[in-house]
Amino acid sequence: GAVVSQHPSWVICKSGTSVKIECRSLDFQATTMFWYRQFPKQSLMLMATSNEGSKATYEQGVEKDKFLINHASLTLSTLTVTSAHPEDSSFYICSANRNRLAPYNEQFFGPGTRLTVL
Amino acid sequence: DAKTTQPNSMESNEEEPVHLPCNHSTISGTDYIHWYRQLPSQGPEYVIHGLTSNVNNRMASLAIAEDRKSSTLILHRATLRDAAVYYCICRGSGGGADGLTFGKGTHLIIQP
Give the Cα separation of A47 and A32 in Å (integer). 14
Cβ–Cβ of A114/B41 closer than 8 Å?
yes
pLDDT band at B98 (very low <50, low <70, confident <90, very high): confident
Three-state DSSP class for residue B102: coil
Distance, C-alpha B5 to centroid of its chain: 11
Beta-carbon separation of B96 and A97 below 8 A: yes
What's the CA gap between B86 and B77, in Å, rounded? 16
Average pLDDT over residues A89-94: 98
pLDDT tens digit sequence for B68-97: 999 999 999 999 999 999 999 998 766 556
Contact residues on chain B for A107, CB-CB shorter than 8 A: 46, 96, 99-100
- With CA atoms as reference, report the closest residue to A49 among A65, A64, A35: A35
Q: What is the pLDDT of residues B20-66, one digit of tens each?
A: 999 999 998 888 999 999 999 999 999 999 999 999 999 999 999 99
Nearest chain B residue to A6 by CA distance is B43
Q: Which residues of A touch B32 (CB under 8 A)?
A: 103-105
